[in-house]
Amino acid sequence: MTDERFVEQLTQHWQRVAKRDRQRELTQPKPLGALVQTDRPYIAQASPLQKLNLYFPKNVNLNTEKLPTIIDIHGGGWMYGDCHLNDSYCLFLASQGYAVMAMSYRLLPQVGLKEMIEDVFASLHWLELFGSQKGFDLTRVLLVGDSAGGHLAGLTLCIQRSPKLQLLYGVEALDFDFDAAVIICGVMEPQKLALGNGIMSRAAKVQLKLLTRKNTAIANAAGFSQACRNIKLPPLMIIGSEEDSFWWQTRLFLRTLTANKLDFQTKLWRRSRGKHLGHVFNVTHWEWSESRETNFAMLNFFKQISASKHKK
C-alpha cells in the first residue's frame, strides 16, 4: 500500500473518531462550577490550530487569587483534535480549584513532530508572559497529556531540562518549571507502533516518516525512551488500563521509567474492573465513578508534590 493510501486511511479513521466524539458530547453531562475562555491565539498571525483555552472555577476573583496550574495536552494520534477536544475534562479539573490551560497544535500530515513541539512551547511561553495576570500560579504547575498528547508531554518534560534537545527542536526553555506530570494511556514510543494492532500500527512507518520528516536527529529523539536518557525529571504519575488498546505502550513506558530510575507512581486499572475502561477513559468520560476516582488520585498526587516542594 502506498504512503498516500495509508494517510487517507488514517484521515478517515480520525474522521470516524471525531463523529463518535461529537455524538458522545451531545448526551454527556457537563461539569458544573467552571467556566472557559476560548480560542486565544498564542502567537501572532496564528493559524486555527495555534490557539488555547483557559478554564477557571466559578466565583473566584482572579485579580486577587492565584490558582495552581494544570496544563493539558490533548491526544489524537498526532493527527486529530484541538484545544476543545478535552473540554469537559478540563472544566472538571477547573471546578476543583485549578486554573487550566489547553492548547491546540498543528497536526500531521501538514507538519511534523518538531513543529508540534514548537507550538506546545509557544503556548507555554504565552502562559509564561500572561498567566499570572489571569490567575495562574506558575510556581505550582502540573503537566498532563493523554495518548499522543502524553508523548508530547513527556518530550516537553525532557526538552525543558535539556539544552541539547532545546537546540534540536528549536525552542527555548521556560522560566517556570513543572512540579510534576501525569501521563494518561501514553503512546510514548512512536518508533515502536508497528508492534501493536490497528490502523496506527499498520501505518506506523508512514506516521514515523511524517513525524520525523527525514530528520535523523529528530528520529533518534522522537521516543520518550530516547529523549529521557540522563535527564532528571520531576515526579510522574502513570494512568493506564489493561483494557486500553495501547496498554502495551504503557508497559513499555513503565519499563523505561524503571530503567532510567525516574520517580513515578501509578494508577492502573485491571481488566477485571470492566471492559469499558478503555483508552483515555478518564478523559473522555469524566463523569464515570472510575474516572472520578482516577482524576481525584491525579489531583491528590499534584497536591502532595506541590506541598512537599513548597515546604523546602
CATH number at residue 104: 3.40.50.1820
* Residues 68/60, Cβ–Cβ less than 8 Å: no
pLDDT for 210 equals 97
pLDDT for the residue 60: 87
The pLDDT of residue 311 is: 74
> Taking the model in full, what pTM does it have?
0.98
Burial of 193 (0-12, 13-18, 19+ CB in 10 A): buried
Q: C-alpha angle with apex 93: 247 to 54, nearest 5 degrees?
A: 110
Residue 277 near residue 250 (C-beta atoms within 8 A): no
Residue 59: the pLDDT is 87
Domain count, the chain: 1
Averages of pLDDT over runs of 10 residues in the chain (312 residues) are: 93 97 95 97 97 95 90 98 98 98 98 98 98 96 98 98 98 98 98 95 96 96 98 98 98 98 98 92 98 98 91 66
- Could you identify the residue written with the cell 508572559? 129
Which pLDDT score, from 0 to 100, does residue 312 have?
59
pLDDT value for 213: 95
Q: How far is CA 136 from the centre of its chain?
A: 19
Cα 17–chain centre separation: 18
Domain coverage including residue 245:
3-311
What pLDDT shows up at residue 273? 86
Closest C-alpha to 73, from 156, 172, 139, 134: 156
Looking at residue 19, its pLDDT comes to 97
